[in-house]
Amino acid sequence: MKLKMSIQLAICAAGLIAATLLPSISSADTLDDIKSRGKMIVAIDPTF
């Protein structure tokens, strides 16, 4: 029973790590586009 719970926890942790890293990896090339234009617009969500 403990082994099954450990495996589920490991899968869940791997999913959370993937969900965190994949968006940053997929948008990494957009920084070069921003640098080529020379300006960046940043907005802060006040409801966060």
Q: What is the pLDDT of residues 1-48, one digit of tens each?
A: 678 888 888 888 888 877 776 655 555 557 777 778 777 777 888 886
- CA separation, residue 17 to residues 10, 21, 36 (Å): 11, 6, 31
- List helix spans (H) across 1-48: 2-26, 30-37
5 HSE (CA, 13 A, CB side)? 2
pLDDT at 36: 81
- CA separation, residue 21 to residues 4, 6, 10, 38, 44 (Å): 26, 22, 16, 26, 21
pLDDT at 6: 87
What is the pTM assigned to this prediction?
0.41
